[in-house]
């Protein structure tokens, strides 16, 4: 049996869609509490699950809210391709719930700010106080062989970011794209289709650096969008546009449109026929 594996952030698991149900019954529209039923409701109506229905495959969603770890996401994807040993059996079942399609949803590159020895270290850029606190905690608690080297390189990274944030974002996204292209080649060798979408606009200046056929733009009303944020903001397809609350997550229609675009990209993918119609 095969599946779709979707790796991303809160958008990938449909966060905030449960507010529509809450609105109907007069419950508070906040994130202080969220029930398992509401989580399932969000999952079921997310673009990830909608895509699964279109492809007639179960969907596994691996996502987090308000955070990211680029390398962890890549590791999850790579490990999903490994054969699963079934207890009581004397062989590997190479097809048991392996993905036919992997969806990788990218986010703001500052969420994965500093890369040192192939590990990601985070800082809080939401507020100045949060930044100062997170930087101090990072330096105080860092466990590396050469702490002085770590601090020196962190300060250099922050200097580049401060002097020209736009250039820093472009360089950071280019680095991540190079890693995604390596992942793509690996997945392609295993007969798995990779599709990439981005919530933020951090990748728009580097779209030509992606391997061919993996990055999905969102086409809507004759306009092509490189990122989900611009798509939902310009077209007023956010929870805030429908319910008037302070939440900019995409609404039901946005999830449907994104799923349609990814689905169409999969159908046009050169590996589609082999992946979905070959006899294994």
Quote the pLDDT of residue 279. Answer: 41
pLDDT of residue 280: 41
33-37, 81-85, 195-199, range with the lowest pLDDT = 81-85
Tell me the pLDDT band of 85, cut-offs 50, 70 and 90: low
pLDDT digits (tens, 9 = 90+) for 255-274: 999 999 999 999 999 999 88
Mean pLDDT along residues 63-76: 80
pLDDT for residue 88? 56
Its sign, for the CA torsion 124, 126, 130, 132, is positive
Whether the model clears a pTM of 0.75, i.e. scores above it, the answer is yes
Where helices occur in the chain by DSSP H, the ranges are: 18-25, 36-45, 47-55, 70-80, 128-141, 147-163, 165-189, 228-234, 239-243, 252-268, 272-277
Please count the helices (runs of H) and the strands (runs of E) in the chain: 11, 10
Q: How far apart are CA 54 and CA 49, in angstroms?
A: 9
């Amino acid at each position: 049996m095969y599946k779709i594996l979707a790796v991303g952030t809160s958008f990938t698991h449909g966060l905030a869609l449960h507010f529509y149900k809450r609105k109907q019954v007069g419950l508070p529209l906040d994130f202080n509490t969220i029930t398992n039923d509401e989580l399932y409701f969000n999952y079921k109506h997310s673009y990830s699950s909608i895509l699964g229905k279109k492809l007639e495959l179960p969907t596994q969603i691996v996502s987090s809210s308000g955070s990211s770890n680029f390398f962890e996401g890549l590791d999850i994807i790579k490990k999903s391709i490994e054969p699963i040993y079934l207890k009581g059996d004397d062989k590997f079942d190479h097809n048991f719930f392996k993905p036919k399609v992997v969806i990788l949803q990218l986010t703001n590159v500052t969420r994965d700010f500093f890369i040192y020895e192939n590990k990601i270290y985070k800082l809080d850029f939401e507020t100045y106080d949060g930044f100062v606190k997170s930087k101090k905690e990072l330096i105080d608690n860092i466990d590396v062989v050469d702490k002085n080297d770590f601090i020196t390189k962190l300060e250099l990274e922050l200097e580049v970011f401060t002097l020209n944030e736009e250039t820093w974002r472009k360089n950071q996204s280019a680095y991540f794209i190079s890693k995604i292209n390596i992942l793509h080649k690996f997945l392609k060798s295993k007969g798995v289709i990779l599709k990439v979408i981005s919530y933020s606009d951090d990748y728009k200046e580097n779209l030509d650096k992606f391997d061919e056929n993996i990055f999905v733009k969102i086409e809507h009303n004759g306009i092509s969008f490189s990122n989900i944020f611009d798509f939902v903001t310009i077209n007023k397809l956010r929870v805030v546009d429908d319910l008037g609350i302070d939440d900019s997550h995409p609404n039901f229609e946005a999830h449907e449109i994104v799923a349609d675009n990814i689905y169409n990209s999969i159908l046009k993918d050169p590996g589609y026929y082999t992946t979905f119609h070959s006899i294994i």
